[in-house]
Structure 1
Amino acid sequence: MGFITMSNLLILIASFLILPSSLAVTDSDSPTAYSILQSYNFPVGILPKGVVSYDLDKSTGRFHAYFNDSCSFNLVGSYQLNYKSVISGYISENKLKKLTGVKVKVLFLWLNIVEVIRNKEEMEFSVGITSANFAIQEFLESPQCGCGFECDDSKSEGFVASS
């Protein structure tokens, strides 16, 4: 009986020595929201710079991405985008669905982007009643809040509050 107790004690000690090193995950070891996007075959540029944290339920694909504040910017070609401080939805290979917190201004209307589908080298953005396709090359880099892709070094990477 003493041998079993000693054996269990050795296993317990070994577990404590091995377990912390296998569970230790620092912030630098955690994947970023941008690398998670890439793992589902999306380019990083569908999210602007400035995601401070995120959560993802890998079993359902449910996610939240968090910014310090809302984020607005114009894209070349007349579209204005607005990201709330929290965006959410469901992610799967080549598809984001049930999105909340992302709007695009079309003419004078703000419309919610509810779905994004990657189809080979194109991205399809749906606002429910209609959709628009864009070349994937337009999303290889993340835009910056406030100035999109038209930033110069003198502008800060600040967030722009909007309604």
Structure 2
Amino acid sequence: MSLIASLSLLIFFLLLSPPAMSATATDDEPPTAYELLSDYNFPPGLLPKGVVGYELDRSNGKFRAYLNGSCSFSLEGSYQLKYKSTISGYLSKDRLTGLSGVSVKVLLFWVNIVDVVRSGDDLEFSVGIASATFPLDNFYESPQCGCGLDCVNGQVRKLKLNPSVSSI
């Protein structure tokens, strides 16, 4: 898995959107953060399992998602993702910008995922100086803190990478 792929996964998790009504929510029960992502055309797997709350200012898209502590896991055994207990940024249809609280380890360095953009059936993750594009279907399942995408079998699911990796 490439550095860009790892960064993409981090951004997925950052897409925890704060409280707002969605088509799937009732008057008595606000949508989950995962349902809110769907309202903005994103898959639930951008966020890890275990979101305990969120806030969303619909006037400007500013959001905060809360985990029950920091979260980390490995993908394909060599890439590490880390989420702080609070993830924040700006959410709009097909765009997640100004992210903070999600990072990926590239070689020896931790790099922040700063933007995620949906373009058709692909998600592009940016770390500022580079970006990578992944098929949307990589993100239908939310990873779990500690073990990633396959905690039951102890296996790591490999992500598909579109051959679109670029430097800025």
- Structure ranking higher in helix proportion: 1
If asked which structure has higher relative contact order (CA below 8 Å, sep 6+), I would say 2
Verify: 1:81 aligned to 2:89, yes or no.
no
The structure-2 alpha-carbon separation of the partners of 1:145 and 1:88, relative to structure 1 and needing over 3 Å to count, comes to: same
TM-score when scaled to structure 1? 0.75
- 2:94 corresponds in structure 1 to 94
Letter in structure 2 aligned against 1:63? F
- Structure ranking higher in strand proportion: 2
- Residue 62 (structure 1) shift: 0.2
Question: Could you tell which deviates more after superposition, 47-56 or 77-86?
Answer: 77-86
- 1:16 corresponds in structure 2 to none
Q: Give me the identity figure in percent.
A: 59
Q: Secondary structure at the match of 1:42?
A: coil
Aligned residues: 129
- Residue 119 (structure 1) shift: 0.8
Following superposition, which runs of at least 4 residues in structure 1 exceed 2 angstroms of deviation?
76-79
- 2:128 corresponds in structure 1 to 128
Task: Give the root-mean-square deviation of aligned CA atoms.
Answer: 1.7
TM-score when scaled to structure 2? 0.73
Q: Secondary structure at the match of 2:85?
A: strand
Q: Secondary structure at the match of 1:54?
A: strand
Structure 2: 5+ residue stretches without partners:
1-25, 155-168
- 2:61 corresponds in structure 1 to 61
Structure 1: 5+ residue stretches without partners:
1-23, 155-163
Alignment of 1:10-89 (within 5 A): 26=28, 29-76=29-76, 78-89=78-89
